[in-house]
Amino acid sequence: MINTVLEPAVAINFFASLKTDSPFFKRDVLNIILLNKEIHTLFGGSGNFKFLPIKQVDIDIISTFENPDYQWVPGDLNTSRVNLLKYSFDNDLWFTPYLHEYNIEDYLIDVSNTHPDCLNHAKKSLLINNLVDFYCFFEFPDIENSLSDELLSEIGNFKESNFYEAFADGLIKISENLDGHYHLTDENIRFLRKSLTKLEGRIVEITKQENLVKVDIDALLGDGLSILSSGILPGLPLGTLKELFEKISNIREFKETPELRFCLALSILKKTIASNVEDSDISTCPICKISIAEIEQLNEEQCHELLHNSVGEKCIKHSVSYLDGRKKHRLIGKGLLKFMKQ
């Protein structure tokens, strides 16, 4: 379970974004909603906003300043930020700072100078937000345009299920494996994608061994390139994924491996999101959908086929990297695909 303290600017954006039609900060809103079981803020009292419990932070933030002035709101936002971080650390909570116009390195320097015992906590809090964005929204680049009541309701149902517990526990475990990092490097991203592919493969192996669902897994695997491009588990219907989670939960390896539970819960979450967003908000770029690990499994002919079939379907980023790889580096086939994924 993940409970987070929101810096005041983040909380204001959160509440305002849910009450307006503007897409501004909507992605941050979804990040907060997906990640947290409850949020803690400096204002607004306690209660529920939509389906998300809210608690008021039990701290007089002004009194934490060296020279508190109760006649006006202090302008030293950096001090309030690190003091709220300290509060979250002392109360076993995560922390979401407002850093859109603030250098992350400067923030970490402030933390190191004032509360060095909280530095690793600050990094982990930044990292776990990056993990949510990476895992959940990579295939939905314009999801902020689809922040509907229906989507929020389905996310609420997800968070009331044991799928959310597996999702949150897995995120925490993954963040611990990346201890010391506060953002995802290209190397981290390649590692996470490769790991996710392996986890999916292991779940499929267990499913076949135990005959857990009625879907013909071998038939799906026989689809070859299309399955490699979209992933095996996301190719299963939502109802089948949920059924699989319940049945596989009785198997010891699955129960004792947070990463496996996370992988299946993530597939359920992404399928839930995909069912409640406009088709135009889902990335159709085949390069976006395939991982480095999946590219390694392709032969040169399959790589050429994927590149040829993706003409006109690539996103702007991968269209540019395609031209760059061909013209500047004279790459083709698998080498070009791997370059485009960097």
Nearest CA to 290 among 268, 272, 315, 312?
Answer: 315
pLDDT at site 216: 54
Q: What is the pLDDT of residues 85-102, one digit of tens each?
A: 999 999 999 999 887 656
In this predicted model, which residue has the larger pLDDT, 204 or 126?
Answer: 126
Residue 94, Cβ neighbours under 10 Å: how many? 24
pLDDT at 33 over 60: yes
What mean pLDDT do residues 301-310 have?
80
Cβ neighbours for 234, distance < 8 A, ≥ 6 positions apart: 267, 270, 271
Asked if pLDDT for residue 279 goes beyond 70, the answer is no
| Backbone angles phi and psi of 38, in degrees to 5 | -155, 155
Q: Which residues pair with 3 in a beta bridge?
A: 38
Spatial contact of 121 and 128, defined as CB atoms under 8 Å apart: no
pLDDT at position 76 is: 57
Confidence band, pLDDT 50/70/90 cuts, at residue 81 = confident
> Above pLDDT 90, what percent of the chain?
23
- Residue 139's pLDDT band, with cuts at 50, 70 and 90, is low
Section 270-287 average pLDDT? 69
Query: Would you place residue 24 in the very low, low, confident or very high pLDDT band (cuts 50, 70, 90)?
Result: low
154-195, pLDDT tens digit by residue?
888 899 899 999 999 999 999 999 988 998 888 898 899 888
Quick one: average pLDDT of 59-75?
57
CA atoms within 13 A on the CB side of 25: 18
Whether the CB-CB separation of 288 and 138 falls below 8 Å is answered with yes
The predicted pLDDT at position 237 comes to 82
**Matching residue, tokens 């990476």:** 134
pLDDT at 149 over 90: no
pLDDT at 267 over 70: yes
pTM of the model: 0.73
Range in 169-173, 255-259, 296-300 with the lowest mean pLDDT? 296-300
Residue 292 phi/psi, 5° resolution? -60, -40
pLDDT-derived band at 337, boundaries 50, 70, 90: confident
- pLDDT tens column, 184-241: 888 898 899 888 888 988 888 888 787 766 555 555 444 443 333 345 676 678 888 8
User: With helix as H, strand as E and coil as C, how does the chain read?
Assistant: CCEEEECHHHHHHHHHHHCCCCCCCHHHHHHHHHHCCEEEECCCCCEEECCEEEEECCCCHHHHCCCCCCCCCCCCHHHHHHHHHHHHHHCCCEEECCCCCCCHHHHHHHHHHHCHHHHHHHHHHHHHHHHHHHHHHCCCCCHHHHCCHHHHHHHHHHHCCHHHHHHHHHHHHHHHHCCCCCCCCHHHHHHHHHHHHHHHHHHHHHHHHHCCCCCCHHHHHCCCHHHHHHCCHHHCCHHHHHHHHHHHCCCHHHHCCHHHHHHHHHHHHHHHHHCCCCHHHCCCCHHHHCCHHHHHCCCHHHHHHHHHHCCCCCCHHHHHHHHHHHHCCCCCHHHHHHHHCC
Percentage above 70 pLDDT, the chain: 75
The amino acid sitting at 177 is N
Which range among 55-59, 120-124, 305-309 has the greatest average pLDDT?
120-124
Q: Can you give the pLDDT at residue 144?
A: 60
- Among the ranges given (79-83, 110-114, 314-318), the one the predictor scored with the smallest mean pLDDT: 314-318
For the cut 70, the answer to whether the pLDDT of residue 70 exceeds it is: no
Rg of the chain over Cα atoms, rounded to whole angstroms, equals 22
- Locate 235 and state its tokens: 């190719």
Give me the pLDDT at residue 224, please: 41
Residues 29 and 132: their CA atoms lie apart, in Å, by 12
pLDDT at 281: 46
**Considering the chain, what is the average pLDDT of its residues?**
79
> What is the residue extent of each domain of the chain?
3-137, 144-283, 285-342
